[in-house]
Structure 1
Amino acid sequence: MTIRDVVIIGSGAAGSSAAFHLANANKKVTIVEKDLLPKLKPCGGGIAASVQELFPFSLEPIIEEVIKKVEFSWCLSDKVIANLPGSAPFWIVRRENLDLFLVEQAINQGAELLKPFEVSKLYKEEGYWVISSKENKKLKSRAVILADGSQSPWPKLFGIGPKNLHHASTTSVRLEGRGLLEEGTSRFEFGLVHHGFAWAFPLKGNVNVGVGTFIGGSSINIEEILEKLLPSLGFDPKEGIRQNSSLRVWNGHCNLHKDGIVAVGDAASLCDPFLAEGLRPALISGYKAAFSLNLWLEGNVKDLSDYTNSMKVTWGNSMAWGRRISQIFYRFPKVGYQLGIKRPTAPERIAQILSGKMSYGDIAQRVIKRLLFKK
């Protein structure tokens, strides 16, 4: 049996990003995917332009819209507008196109894609990982990357990621046409969603609308919200393809590695606990995991702790502050909207966070103080 350097479970943004970087470093990489590609995913598709720095090839072919303006509203009124600087834009991509594009880049570098391949068993035997599928296929590898999303059973089995998972419940609606959404504009709506918010991102000939709640146990009537939200965007409330999902959001610093195995993207619970941004941490974690695994496979480091440590610095420290802001903001959303988003300096700060040029840590202490003391 051929022994791979790395088997990656899942061909989404995080897994395919890791696959490209490892294959580009001349590692023998196999991606296994249980579904046929491409597949429609419940994802808004918003992504900071700063992720371009992670790749030696241009992402321009899959960018559907460059966002230059972000509109915020409270119960469909009381609007705030943030103009994004030209040097730090926010992109919209069609998620299925992004995943497929990255997979193709990985394959061009020599990575292998096996599908359908639904992993049924994952264990170590004589120093190698054994990956068995429901289709009675078996692979062996020196290392494994868990990149199969929020529903992945493997991180818990191997003690990777937070012990207590925190979820955001989301519903995504893909709509035909642009409705009333202006070109180069995205929208965030607060007030309609209990303990959460709604968003609208433009695509070529489509709009992605989403509704999410971020405090555990929150119960919301999605159709009641869409009855109000969709007409404000110029759509009939019954229009669109609906998809529900449960996202693992960041919930404390934790190990993202064990001996020869790492978790990336949603499987690693990296989703932003305040704005539900998942694509940027997915791509960052794929890059960081590949870098650490390459060093480990070549015998330059003794373990994969560098991956956990680098993600803590690059992403986790900011998310720790984002989680604190989220816990206060979504419990007192009207106060948060008035004292946070409506402040004169808020649009510029929000623009910098969305574009990846500023972290929650840069603004957190001031924001939390205002929300707690209502100043």
Structure 2
Amino acid sequence: MYDVIVVGAGPAGASTAYHLAKQGHSVLMLEKAALPRYKPCSGAVSPSVAEFFDFDFAPAIDRAMRQVRYTYKLGDPIEAELTTDPIWMVRREVFDHFLVQQAQKLGAQLKDGTAVTAIENKGDYWQVSTADGPLEAAYLVAADGAQGPMAQWLGFPPHTVRLANVLEVPAPVGDDCAINFEFGLIKQGCMWNFPKREGYSIGAATFLGQAPANHHKALEKYSQSFGVSPASGTVYSHPLKLWDGNYPLHTHRAVLVGEAAAIVDPLSAEGIRPGMISGVRAAEAIHAAIAGDPEALAQYTDTMHATWGADMPWAKRIAGLFFRVPGIGYRVGIKRPTATQRLGQILAGEVRYADIASRVMKRMSGGLLSG
């Protein structure tokens, strides 16, 4: 009998396991894939997440970047530089496995290559079924991502899952490269190119309305603008479970974290940092529950709603306006000298969308009227 079983060994699950193991609890991580494993994801992480951990992330960082470049329909380029700490570019097979290893150093156990086939509540503990037999724990953490079954099995309402596409291209990448964002090439969404040391992660996602079956044509056009042949890379689908309202994140002796809880920014699609923070908060709550606090898991839901979740309606409102008229958003928003500074501050958690939303929407509305 474990204190906690964490299903899913991505950043949110590994963060939960790390902090629970740090408190001396017996923790088992279950991961259906064999680690390390490739994860379709463009892999941008704000270094501000390090404040929640007491180890050096350097071995897991592929490169750190400050330069940002924006385009609209591949033209009207804007070059800028982050005034905050540089954004970390990570390869998820490295980053996720590194986090798991940090949890293991504190005593957390791992069973990778082990899919969960069913769960059953036994009153004061959970029974988790796997191909290798049943496992038991007093508490359960669902960290199995956007398309994992755990949230449904636990009785949580379904969320819409959008599919982004990521083209991974091995290619020489110079030191003068930038974090790239493209607006206008696809409807009601955006594209991006996040360089790694030995290649590009070129992505596309539709945030509003009906998404196309795939973004392959747009990916081909965008990749060619960097002198990269899409034929030399591989396109992967990447599910996005964007925040769409505050919902309970806990049930009897169980919590949701990360993308399983739809903790993904509906404007930027940032999921790694908020997912890791949800793991930290979930670990705090489970620790308190094990110590005898009957309201601890409910407080986890309240904490996430009052901090991260309270800001997401503003992110969604900005997204709803910006992605409908990206040309105006680009002209009155992205081209402003402070735009990149605000981007870095939001990703670092230094500025909330609520702090800037009224100004952004006023400019956008003014742009609509003048247009």
TM-score by length of 2: 0.95
The match for 1:57 is 55
Match of 1:108 among 105, 108, 115: 105
Give yes or no for the alignment of 1:330 onto 2:327.
Answer: no
Match of 1:145 among 130, 137, 141: 141
The match for 2:277 is 284
Task: Tell me if the contact between 1:168 and 1:216 (Cα under 8 Å) persists in the aligned partners.
Answer: no
1:200 CA drift (Å): 0.8
State the one-letter code of the partner of 1:294.
H
Task: Tell me if the contact between 1:65 and 1:184 (Cα under 8 Å) persists in the aligned partners.
Answer: no
The match for 2:36 is 38
RMSD: 1.7
Give yes or no for the alignment of 1:366 onto 2:355.
Answer: no
1:301 CA drift (Å): 4.5
State the one-letter code of the partner of 1:138.
P
The match for 1:260 is 253
Distance in 2, matches of 1:325 and 1:126, equals 44
Counting only pairs closer than 5 Å after superposition, residues 303-342 of structure 1 correspond to structure 2 as 303-342=296-335
Give CA-to-partner distance per residue, 1:226-266, whole Å, 9 cap, x none: 22111111201322121112210001111111121000111
State the one-letter code of the partner of 1:370.
R
Distance in 2, matches of 1:328 and 1:220, equals 23
1:302 CA drift (Å): 3.2
The match for 1:203 is 196
The match for 1:13 is 11
1:89 CA drift (Å): 2.2
The match for 1:168 is 162
The match for 2:171 is 177
Distance in 2, matches of 1:275 and 1:254, equals 20
Distance in 1, matches of 2:61 and 2:141, equals 27
Q: Which stretch has the larger CA shift, 203-212 or 299-308?
A: 299-308
State the one-letter code of the partner of 1:343.
R
Task: Tell me if the contact between 2:167 and 2:230 (Cα under 8 Å) persists in the aligned partners.
Answer: no
Match of 1:212 among 201, 205, 208: 205
Task: Tell me if the contact between 2:321 and 2:364 (Cα under 8 Å) persists in the aligned partners.
Answer: yes
Gap change, CA 1:232 and 1:182, over 3 Å in 2:
farther
The match for 2:76 is 78
The match for 1:157 is 153
Q: Which 4+ stretches in 1 moved above 3 angstroms?
A: 181-184, 300-303
1:221 CA drift (Å): 5.0
State the one-letter code of the partner of 1:200.
N
Distance in 2, matches of 1:98 and 1:152, equals 20
1:361 CA drift (Å): 1.4
1:341 CA drift (Å): 0.8
Q: Which stretch has the larger CA shift, 3-12 or 298-307?
A: 298-307
Q: Which stretch has the larger CA shift, 230-239 or 96-105?
A: 230-239
Counting only pairs closer than 5 Å after superposition, residues 291-310 of structure 1 correspond to structure 2 as 291-310=284-303
The match for 1:123 is 120
1:183 CA drift (Å): 3.6
1:45 CA drift (Å): 0.7
Give CA-to-partner distance per residue, 1:193-249, whole Å, 9 cap, x none: 111111111112121111111114222652211221111112013221211122100
Distance in 2, matches of 1:305 and 1:343, equals 41
SS in 1 for 2:62: strand
Distance in 2, matches of 1:67 and 1:351, equals 11
State the one-letter code of the partner of 1:103.
V
Task: Tell me if the contact between 1:70 and 1:185 (Cα under 8 Å) persists in the aligned partners.
Answer: yes
Distance in 2, matches of 1:365 and 1:178, equals 42
Distance in 1, matches of 2:158 and 2:34, equals 31
Distance in 1, matches of 2:247 and 2:16, equals 20
Distance in 2, matches of 1:218 and 1:126, equals 42
Distance in 2, matches of 1:216 and 1:105, equals 40
Identity, in percent, stands at 38
Distance in 2, matches of 1:220 and 1:178, equals 30
Distance in 2, matches of 1:283 and 1:268, equals 12
The match for 2:236 is 243
State the one-letter code of the partner of 1:214.
F
Task: Tell me if the contact between 2:189 and 2:323 (Cα under 8 Å) persists in the aligned partners.
Answer: yes
Gap change, CA 1:83 and 1:254, over 3 Å in 2:
same
SS in 1 for 2:38: coil
Gap change, CA 1:126 and 1:305, over 3 Å in 2:
closer
Q: Which stretch has the larger CA shift, 120-129 or 150-159?
A: 150-159
Match of 2:46 among 45, 48, 51: 48
Match of 1:68 among 57, 66, 69: 66
SS in 1 for 2:349: coil
Distance in 1, matches of 2:316 and 2:158, equals 14
Task: Tell me if the contact between 1:89 and 1:355 (Cα under 8 Å) persists in the aligned partners.
Answer: no
Match of 1:27 among 25, 28, 48: 25
